[in-house]
Amino acid sequence: MTGLKTEGRIAKIRRESPGERLVPLLILILCLATLLLASLRIMGHGFQPLDDAFRHVAKVVSGKAWPDILLVRPEITMDSHPGWHAILTGFQWGISGEPDDLLAFSIVFLFLLFALIPIFYFRRPEAWIVALLIMLLFSFGTMFRTFYGRPFIFSMFVIVLFCFLWKRIRDKKRPWVELVGYTLAAALSTWIHGTWYLLSLPLAALFVGRQWRVFWLMSLATLIGAAVGACFTGSPLTFLSQMVFHAVEAFDSHVFQRQLVTEFQPFDGAPFMIVAFALVLLWQRLRGEKLSELLDDPVFFLAAIGWCMGFVATRFWSDWGWPAMTVWVALQLQDIFEKEVQPFAIKRLAFVAVLCVVFFVALTNDRGSRWTGKLGIPWPKMTEPDQRPWLPEKGGILYNDNMYLFYNVFFQNPHGPWRYALGFEPVWMPEDDLAIYRKIQLSGGKAESYEPWIKKMTQKDRMMLIRESDPKIPGLQWHEVVPTVWSGKLPTDGKTIDG
């Protein structure tokens, strides 16, 4: 019976008109165009991300090393994202050196790397679009992160790549192309993102899934890739050890979890994602699929590992578990589509066209000003004559207690001749400054907690805080440079101010 059905399908395919045979190609083009146009539409809103994309761009534009930008503890001697900064530098030299152009490139390139490339791995590309739409509806916050323009998105892409390659490696006797490809991906991930040790998570999924041959082959590929990526930095051992030091210190230099940056804090369990997962699983079960076969899969195990570890730090879920879950959902949908929808049917093309329109509108609409919320917010610029006196002088230090302030002030002033006390990661701060910063956090920003910094300040330095009104911190003369951004400096006569 199975043979007769197969022969019947082949005969039907042969009877399709040449126009209908174009359906798969048209669907592929439609899916690719949807993702490309969606990213361009979002940039057309004037979208700018919230955090690290600014400092990556500003660092490249400044041409400085981090010790010339930040106060850095002696254990930190290397850039943690040398590959990404090299890519941005190449774009700067070849295309445009304007900060806004580098920022737009960061956002669009990394989003398309994650969202567009996987389409070529699906036999039914619409399955990927549907999966992204499901994630958009049930986990928009995580989907939003794919537009952050940060190197971690490259590691998300590597996770997606793993989800497709592991099975090909299992099924081939000599999967050299796949292994070389994954080795290269691991090398680039190490060089671009730096967190080489997290490449062990896919290996853990293979181990749990009892895919022993693939586990050993991909373990070897990962080790070689991480070593090659580290060699790209010029000081491999120093780079590898610094990244581990960074990770350990980031979780060991605080009293309470609330002192950690938001993405290092535990997540809420992604309850809506659990609902989405359960619905897909129920759909497959009602179609007669065995749950044991659906769940006994390294892709699912990787998603589960990321979810469990999300209760330690949300990034385990958002950067590692969520991409794996998205691919797992897409693969289930592909299985359904292949069994229920003829590949050359015009109805399929019409369905995908409607689906792409829905996805485009759902993603690009500006609900809650999610794409335009940062437009028009001013930040201090040294090019403004009335603001320059309230920024540090040459060789000075900008003391601040808010990383969001650092990102924006640095982006607006990449050539500023001063350094920042707090940058993108507190554990990079010298130990004494980190201790002061932690006390400021614990006190909720009380005036007396800033006193150690004020005692260290010179006439060249400034303290900049985000406040709705005058901070009234004694010892400094305060001025609102732009709305809600206050700058404090020592009085020119050397006398203190009671505030």
The answer on pLDDT for 105 being more than 90 is yes
The answer on pLDDT for 408 being more than 50 is yes
One-letter identity of residue 193: H
Question: Model confidence over 426-479: pLDDT tens digits?
Answer: 999 999 999 999 999 999 899 999 999 999 999 999 999 999 999 999 999 999
The answer on pLDDT for 409 being more than 70 is yes
Percent over 70 (pLDDT), the chain: 93
Structure tokens at 171: 């099924």
Structure tokens at 95: 């295309």
How much is the average pLDDT of 96-102?
Answer: 89
Say what the pTM is.
0.90
Residue 256: the pLDDT is 63
Question: Model confidence over 11-22: pLDDT tens digits?
Answer: 444 455 565 678
Alpha carbon distance 120, 25 (integer Å): 11
Question: Model confidence over 49-83: pLDDT tens digits?
Answer: 988 999 999 999 999 999 999 999 999 999 999 99
How much is the average pLDDT of 321-343?
Answer: 92
How much is the average pLDDT of 23-32?
Answer: 94
The answer on pLDDT for 102 being more than 50 is yes
Write phi, then psi, for 239 (nearest 5 degrees).
Answer: -65, -50
Alpha carbon distance 280, 275 (integer Å): 9
How much is the average pLDDT of 340-360?
Answer: 91
Residue 6: the pLDDT is 44
- Residues with Cβ within 8 Å of 38's Cβ and at least 6 positions away in sequence, in order, are 359, 360, 363, 364
Question: Model confidence over 127-166: pLDDT tens digits?
Answer: 999 999 999 999 999 999 999 999 999 999 999 999 999 9
Angle 402-80-243 from CA coordinates, rounded to 5°: 100
Report in angstroms the alpha-carbon separations of 141 from 227, 270, 323, 356, 468. 34, 10, 13, 21, 27
164 compared with 294, residue with greater pLDDT: 164
Residue 285: the pLDDT is 82
Phi-psi region of 378 (alpha: psi -120 to 50; beta: other; left: phi over 0): beta
The answer on pLDDT for 494 being more than 90 is no
